[in-house]
Amino acid sequence: MRYGKITATARYLPTKVVTNDALAQLMDTSDDWIQSRTGIKERRIAEAENTSDLCLKVAQQLIEKQTIAPETLDFVIVATMSADYTSPSVACQVQGALGAVNALAFDVTAACSGFVYALATAENFIRSGLTRGLVIGGEKISKLIDWQDRTTAVLFGDGAAGVLLEAAAKPSIIKQVLKADGTRGDSLTAGYRVTKTAFYQEANEKNKLAMNGRAIYDFALNDVTKCLKTFVGEETIDYYLFHQANERIIQKMARKLKEPIEKFPMNLANYGNTSAASIPILLDELVEAETIRLDGTQKVVFTGYGGGLTWGNLLLEL
Ligand code: B82
Protein backbone atom coordinates (compact mmCIF):
# COMPACT_ATOMS: atom_id res chain seq x y z
CA MET A 1 0.00 0.00 0.00
CA ARG A 2 1.20 3.51 -0.74
CA TYR A 3 0.09 6.80 0.75
CA GLY A 4 0.38 10.48 -0.08
CA LYS A 5 3.05 12.63 1.49
CA ILE A 6 3.36 16.41 1.14
CA THR A 7 6.96 16.92 -0.06
CA ALA A 8 6.77 20.60 -1.03
CA THR A 9 4.51 23.63 -0.56
CA ALA A 10 4.35 26.93 -2.46
CA ARG A 11 2.21 30.05 -2.72
CA TYR A 12 1.73 32.94 -5.11
CA LEU A 13 0.00 36.19 -4.21
CA PRO A 14 -0.68 38.92 -6.75
CA THR A 15 1.46 41.98 -6.02
CA LYS A 16 -1.30 44.60 -5.75
CA VAL A 17 -2.03 45.28 -2.06
CA VAL A 18 -5.40 46.88 -1.30
CA THR A 19 -5.63 48.24 2.24
CA ASN A 20 -8.82 48.86 4.18
CA ASP A 21 -8.19 52.59 3.80
CA ALA A 22 -8.01 52.15 0.01
CA LEU A 23 -11.40 50.37 0.09
CA ALA A 24 -12.82 53.20 2.22
CA GLN A 25 -12.13 55.48 -0.77
CA LEU A 26 -14.38 53.31 -2.95
CA MET A 27 -17.25 52.57 -0.56
CA ASP A 28 -18.75 53.60 2.76
CA THR A 29 -16.55 51.57 5.10
CA SER A 30 -13.56 52.11 7.39
CA ASP A 31 -10.37 50.40 8.53
CA ASP A 32 -11.74 50.23 12.06
CA TRP A 33 -15.04 48.63 10.99
CA ILE A 34 -13.31 45.99 8.84
CA GLN A 35 -10.57 45.13 11.35
CA SER A 36 -12.85 44.92 14.37
CA ARG A 37 -15.32 42.56 12.63
CA THR A 38 -12.95 40.43 10.56
CA GLY A 39 -9.29 40.94 11.52
CA ILE A 40 -8.50 41.92 7.91
CA LYS A 41 -6.02 44.77 7.30
CA GLU A 42 -5.35 44.30 3.59
CA ARG A 43 -5.83 41.85 0.73
CA ARG A 44 -4.18 41.17 -2.64
CA ILE A 45 -6.12 41.83 -5.82
CA ALA A 46 -5.13 40.32 -9.16
CA GLU A 47 -5.45 42.69 -12.11
CA ALA A 48 -4.54 41.22 -15.53
CA GLU A 49 -3.65 37.83 -14.02
CA ASN A 50 -6.44 35.25 -13.98
CA THR A 51 -6.90 32.23 -11.67
CA SER A 52 -4.90 29.97 -14.02
CA ASP A 53 -1.96 32.41 -13.98
CA LEU A 54 -1.87 32.38 -10.17
CA CYS A 55 -2.06 28.57 -10.12
CA LEU A 56 0.63 28.16 -12.78
CA LYS A 57 3.04 30.25 -10.67
CA VAL A 58 2.42 27.86 -7.77
CA ALA A 59 2.83 24.77 -9.96
CA GLN A 60 6.16 25.99 -11.36
CA GLN A 61 7.53 26.62 -7.88
CA LEU A 62 6.37 23.20 -6.66
CA ILE A 63 8.21 21.26 -9.35
CA GLU A 64 11.31 23.47 -9.05
CA LYS A 65 11.54 22.98 -5.29
CA GLN A 66 11.82 19.19 -5.67
CA THR A 67 13.43 19.26 -9.17
CA ILE A 68 10.56 17.22 -10.58
CA ALA A 69 10.35 16.83 -14.38
CA PRO A 70 6.81 17.88 -15.39
CA GLU A 71 6.34 14.66 -17.42
CA THR A 72 6.59 12.63 -14.21
CA LEU A 73 3.48 14.21 -12.69
CA ASP A 74 0.46 11.88 -12.68
CA PHE A 75 -2.17 14.44 -11.69
CA VAL A 76 -2.89 18.15 -11.47
CA ILE A 77 -5.92 18.95 -9.30
CA VAL A 78 -7.05 22.54 -8.75
CA ALA A 79 -9.60 23.61 -6.16
CA THR A 80 -11.31 26.80 -7.31
CA MET A 81 -14.67 28.55 -7.55
CA SER A 82 -13.30 31.25 -9.86
CA ALA A 83 -12.01 29.25 -12.83
CA ASP A 84 -11.09 31.24 -15.95
CA TYR A 85 -13.53 29.09 -17.94
CA THR A 86 -16.16 26.46 -17.23
CA SER A 87 -14.09 24.44 -19.70
CA PRO A 88 -11.17 23.94 -19.94
CA SER A 89 -10.55 23.54 -16.23
CA VAL A 90 -7.83 25.57 -14.54
CA ALA A 91 -6.08 22.25 -13.89
CA CYS A 92 -5.93 21.55 -17.66
CA GLN A 93 -4.60 25.06 -18.33
CA VAL A 94 -1.86 24.49 -15.74
CA GLN A 95 -1.11 20.97 -17.01
CA GLY A 96 -0.70 22.30 -20.55
CA ALA A 97 1.45 25.31 -19.66
CA LEU A 98 3.62 23.21 -17.35
CA GLY A 99 4.16 20.41 -19.89
CA ALA A 100 2.78 17.81 -17.48
CA VAL A 101 1.86 15.66 -20.50
CA ASN A 102 1.21 12.49 -18.47
CA ALA A 103 -0.97 14.04 -15.80
CA LEU A 104 -4.73 13.76 -15.51
CA ALA A 105 -6.22 17.14 -14.72
CA PHE A 106 -9.49 18.47 -13.35
CA ASP A 107 -10.92 21.11 -11.02
CA VAL A 108 -12.67 20.49 -7.74
CA THR A 109 -15.47 22.90 -6.91
CA ALA A 110 -16.24 22.90 -3.23
CA ALA A 111 -15.88 26.63 -2.49
CA CYS A 112 -13.83 27.28 0.65
CA SER A 113 -13.65 23.53 1.39
CA GLY A 114 -12.12 22.94 -2.04
CA PHE A 115 -8.54 22.36 -0.96
CA VAL A 116 -9.55 19.80 1.68
CA TYR A 117 -11.76 18.00 -0.86
CA ALA A 118 -8.99 18.11 -3.50
CA LEU A 119 -6.28 16.80 -1.17
CA ALA A 120 -8.53 13.93 -0.05
CA THR A 121 -9.19 13.12 -3.72
CA ALA A 122 -5.47 13.18 -4.54
CA GLU A 123 -4.73 10.88 -1.61
CA ASN A 124 -7.14 8.34 -3.08
CA PHE A 125 -5.36 8.51 -6.48
CA ILE A 126 -2.04 7.74 -4.77
CA ARG A 127 -3.60 4.90 -2.75
CA SER A 128 -4.83 3.43 -6.04
CA GLY A 129 -1.39 3.48 -7.69
CA LEU A 130 -0.44 6.95 -8.96
CA THR A 131 2.97 8.29 -7.87
CA ARG A 132 2.90 12.06 -7.67
CA GLY A 133 0.95 15.18 -8.50
CA LEU A 134 0.01 18.73 -7.65
CA VAL A 135 -2.91 19.87 -5.52
CA ILE A 136 -3.49 23.61 -5.80
CA GLY A 137 -6.10 25.97 -4.37
CA GLY A 138 -6.37 29.17 -6.40
CA GLU A 139 -8.87 31.98 -6.63
CA LYS A 140 -9.36 35.26 -8.39
CA ILE A 141 -12.39 35.76 -6.18
CA SER A 142 -12.34 39.52 -6.90
CA LYS A 143 -14.12 38.88 -10.21
CA LEU A 144 -17.08 37.32 -8.36
CA ILE A 145 -17.41 40.16 -5.85
CA ASP A 146 -20.20 42.73 -6.02
CA TRP A 147 -18.07 45.86 -5.61
CA GLN A 148 -21.23 47.83 -4.69
CA ASP A 149 -21.84 45.60 -1.65
CA ARG A 150 -19.69 46.86 1.22
CA THR A 151 -20.68 43.93 3.45
CA THR A 152 -18.98 41.34 1.21
CA ALA A 153 -16.49 43.35 -0.90
CA VAL A 154 -14.21 43.95 2.09
CA LEU A 155 -13.94 40.27 3.06
CA PHE A 156 -12.17 38.60 0.14
CA GLY A 157 -8.82 38.51 -1.60
CA ASP A 158 -7.06 36.74 -4.48
CA GLY A 159 -4.25 34.19 -4.23
CA ALA A 160 -3.09 30.65 -4.84
CA ALA A 161 -1.04 27.96 -3.12
CA GLY A 162 -0.58 24.24 -3.19
CA VAL A 163 1.38 21.12 -2.47
CA LEU A 164 3.32 18.40 -4.23
CA LEU A 165 1.89 15.07 -3.07
CA GLU A 166 4.11 12.00 -3.56
CA ALA A 167 3.78 8.30 -2.83
CA ALA A 168 5.37 7.09 0.42
CA ALA A 169 5.28 3.86 2.42
CA LYS A 170 3.86 5.44 5.57
CA PRO A 171 0.51 7.25 5.74
CA SER A 172 0.59 11.00 6.30
CA ILE A 173 -3.14 11.71 5.93
CA ILE A 174 -4.31 9.63 8.89
CA LYS A 175 -7.99 10.36 8.81
CA GLN A 176 -10.54 12.27 6.78
CA VAL A 177 -14.16 13.34 6.84
CA LEU A 178 -15.90 15.23 4.02
CA LYS A 179 -19.43 16.55 4.42
CA ALA A 180 -22.06 18.44 2.42
CA ASP A 181 -25.56 19.83 2.94
CA GLY A 182 -27.05 20.96 -0.35
CA THR A 183 -30.30 22.01 1.32
CA ARG A 184 -28.51 25.09 2.67
CA GLY A 185 -26.68 25.97 -0.55
CA ASP A 186 -28.59 29.25 -0.92
CA SER A 187 -26.80 30.81 2.05
CA LEU A 188 -23.55 31.32 0.08
CA THR A 189 -23.74 31.63 -3.70
CA ALA A 190 -21.59 32.95 -6.55
CA GLY A 191 -21.29 32.68 -10.31
CA TYR A 192 -24.85 31.86 -11.35
CA ARG A 193 -24.92 31.47 -15.13
CA VAL A 194 -28.10 32.95 -16.49
CA THR A 195 -30.01 31.26 -19.35
CA LYS A 196 -30.49 33.60 -22.31
CA THR A 197 -31.23 31.43 -25.32
CA ALA A 198 -33.44 31.75 -28.37
CA PHE A 199 -35.97 29.68 -26.38
CA TYR A 200 -35.83 31.03 -22.86
CA GLN A 201 -34.73 34.26 -21.20
CA GLU A 202 -34.12 34.20 -17.50
CA ALA A 203 -34.16 37.32 -15.34
CA ASN A 204 -32.08 35.84 -12.53
CA GLU A 205 -28.80 37.68 -12.02
CA LYS A 206 -27.23 35.91 -9.03
CA ASN A 207 -23.82 36.11 -10.63
CA LYS A 208 -22.02 37.98 -7.88
CA LEU A 209 -21.09 36.49 -4.54
CA ALA A 210 -23.91 36.73 -2.01
CA MET A 211 -23.95 35.41 1.52
CA ASN A 212 -26.32 35.16 4.42
CA GLY A 213 -23.72 36.00 7.06
CA ARG A 214 -25.80 34.92 10.03
CA ALA A 215 -26.68 31.54 8.48
CA ILE A 216 -23.13 30.58 7.52
CA TYR A 217 -21.75 31.93 10.79
CA ASP A 218 -24.13 29.61 12.67
CA PHE A 219 -23.14 26.79 10.30
CA ALA A 220 -19.44 27.33 11.12
CA LEU A 221 -19.99 27.50 14.86
CA ASN A 222 -22.44 24.60 15.08
CA ASP A 223 -22.05 22.02 12.29
CA VAL A 224 -18.39 22.54 11.46
CA THR A 225 -17.27 22.73 15.09
CA LYS A 226 -19.33 19.68 16.13
CA CYS A 227 -17.92 17.63 13.24
CA LEU A 228 -14.36 18.66 14.10
CA LYS A 229 -14.81 17.87 17.80
CA THR A 230 -15.92 14.32 17.01
CA PHE A 231 -13.18 13.98 14.40
CA VAL A 232 -10.35 14.96 16.75
CA GLY A 233 -11.60 12.97 19.77
CA GLU A 234 -8.79 12.41 22.26
CA GLU A 235 -6.00 13.09 19.75
CA THR A 236 -3.43 15.80 20.69
CA ILE A 237 -3.20 18.28 17.83
CA ASP A 238 -0.26 20.66 17.28
CA TYR A 239 -1.96 23.01 14.79
CA TYR A 240 -5.37 23.56 13.28
CA LEU A 241 -5.22 25.12 9.82
CA PHE A 242 -8.72 26.50 9.38
CA HIS A 243 -10.16 28.05 6.28
CA GLN A 244 -9.53 31.76 6.88
CA ALA A 245 -13.12 33.10 6.84
CA ASN A 246 -12.92 35.57 9.69
CA GLU A 247 -10.75 35.96 12.83
CA ARG A 248 -13.78 36.23 15.12
CA ILE A 249 -15.22 32.98 13.79
CA ILE A 250 -11.93 31.13 14.24
CA GLN A 251 -11.55 32.48 17.80
CA LYS A 252 -15.09 31.35 18.66
CA MET A 253 -14.51 27.89 17.18
CA ALA A 254 -11.22 27.55 19.09
CA ARG A 255 -13.01 28.38 22.34
CA LYS A 256 -15.74 25.83 21.61
CA LEU A 257 -13.06 23.19 20.99
CA LYS A 258 -11.39 24.15 24.31
CA GLU A 259 -8.04 24.54 22.56
CA PRO A 260 -5.62 27.48 23.02
CA ILE A 261 -5.80 30.11 20.27
CA GLU A 262 -2.04 29.65 19.62
CA LYS A 263 -2.90 26.36 17.88
CA PHE A 264 -4.89 28.30 15.24
CA PRO A 265 -2.49 30.23 13.04
CA MET A 266 -4.16 32.98 10.98
CA ASN A 267 -3.21 35.26 8.13
CA LEU A 268 -6.50 37.04 7.46
CA ALA A 269 -4.85 40.35 8.29
CA ASN A 270 -2.73 40.16 5.12
CA TYR A 271 -4.93 38.36 2.61
CA GLY A 272 -8.57 38.37 3.73
CA ASN A 273 -10.65 35.32 2.74
CA THR A 274 -9.05 33.64 -0.29
CA SER A 275 -11.57 30.77 -0.37
CA ALA A 276 -9.96 27.51 -1.60
CA ALA A 277 -6.49 29.10 -1.42
CA SER A 278 -6.61 30.04 2.26
CA ILE A 279 -5.47 26.75 3.83
CA PRO A 280 -2.54 26.10 1.44
CA ILE A 281 -1.35 29.75 1.66
CA LEU A 282 -1.31 29.42 5.44
CA LEU A 283 0.44 26.03 5.21
CA ASP A 284 3.19 27.37 2.95
CA GLU A 285 3.81 30.34 5.26
CA LEU A 286 4.10 28.01 8.27
CA VAL A 287 6.46 25.69 6.40
CA GLU A 288 8.58 28.68 5.37
CA ALA A 289 8.70 29.87 9.01
CA GLU A 290 9.63 26.29 10.06
CA THR A 291 6.64 26.22 12.39
CA ILE A 292 5.51 23.19 10.39
CA ARG A 293 8.52 21.05 9.45
CA LEU A 294 7.18 18.33 7.10
CA ASP A 295 9.32 15.80 9.04
CA GLY A 296 6.43 13.58 10.14
CA THR A 297 6.55 14.63 13.81
CA GLN A 298 3.58 17.01 14.03
CA LYS A 299 -0.15 16.39 14.05
CA VAL A 300 -1.98 19.00 11.99
CA VAL A 301 -5.67 19.29 11.13
CA PHE A 302 -6.89 21.01 7.96
CA THR A 303 -10.48 22.25 8.32
CA GLY A 304 -12.39 23.58 5.33
CA TYR A 305 -15.95 24.96 5.39
CA GLY A 306 -17.90 27.00 2.92
CA GLY A 307 -20.37 27.19 0.06
CA GLY A 308 -22.34 24.13 -0.91
CA LEU A 309 -22.62 23.96 2.00
CA THR A 310 -19.50 21.84 2.33
CA TRP A 311 -17.09 21.08 5.14
CA GLY A 312 -14.37 18.60 5.93
CA ASN A 313 -11.39 17.73 8.08
CA LEU A 314 -8.09 16.00 7.37
CA LEU A 315 -5.77 14.80 10.13
CA LEU A 316 -2.18 14.81 8.90
CA GLU A 317 1.09 13.67 10.39
CA LEU A 318 3.33 16.28 8.82
S1 B82 B 1 -20.89 38.36 9.46
O2 B82 B 1 -22.13 37.93 8.91
O3 B82 B 1 -20.66 39.75 9.31
N4 B82 B 1 -20.82 38.01 11.04
C5 B82 B 1 -21.55 36.87 11.50
C6 B82 B 1 -22.78 37.26 12.24
C7 B82 B 1 -19.83 38.68 11.83
C8 B82 B 1 -18.75 37.74 12.29
C9 B82 B 1 -19.62 37.43 8.73
C10 B82 B 1 -18.45 38.03 8.28
BR11 B82 B 1 -18.16 39.88 8.49
C12 B82 B 1 -17.45 37.29 7.64
C13 B82 B 1 -17.61 35.93 7.49
C14 B82 B 1 -18.75 35.32 7.97
C15 B82 B 1 -18.95 33.87 7.86
O16 B82 B 1 -19.77 33.34 8.60
N17 B82 B 1 -18.19 33.19 6.98
C18 B82 B 1 -18.22 31.84 6.64
C19 B82 B 1 -18.94 30.90 7.37
C20 B82 B 1 -18.98 29.56 6.98
C21 B82 B 1 -18.30 29.16 5.85
C22 B82 B 1 -17.56 30.08 5.12
C23 B82 B 1 -17.50 31.42 5.51
C24 B82 B 1 -16.70 32.35 4.69
O25 B82 B 1 -16.84 33.56 4.83
O26 B82 B 1 -15.87 31.86 3.89
C27 B82 B 1 -19.76 36.07 8.59
Question: Whole-model pTM above 0.95?
Answer: yes
H or E segment to which residue 151 belongs: helix 150-153
Query: Which value, in Å, is the radius of gyration of the alpha carbons in the chain?
Result: 19
State mean pLDDT over 240-246.
98
Evaluate if residue 65 carries a pLDDT over 80: yes
Pocket test for ligand 1, best of 139, 246, 309 (most atoms within 8 A of CB): 246
Is 110's C-beta closer than 6 angstroms to any atom of ligand 1?
A: no
Atom of ligand 1 nearest to the CA of 212: 2
The residue whose CA has the least distance to atom 22 of ligand 1 is 306
Question: Taking the domain 1-318, which CATH number applies?
Answer: 3.40.47.10
Q: Around Cβ 26, how many Cβ atoms within 10 Å?
A: 13
If one residue of 23, 117, 211 were mutated to test the ligand 1 pocket, choosing by the most ligand atoms within 8 A of its CB, it would be 211
Q: With a cut of 80, say whether residue 55 has pLDDT above it.
A: yes
Cis omega (within 30 of 0) on the bond before 309?
yes
Instruction: Please calculate the CA angle 205-207-211 and round it to the nearest 5 degrees.
Output: 105
- The pLDDT of residue 165 is above 80: yes
In this structure, which residue's CA is closest to atom 7 in ligand 1?
Answer: 37
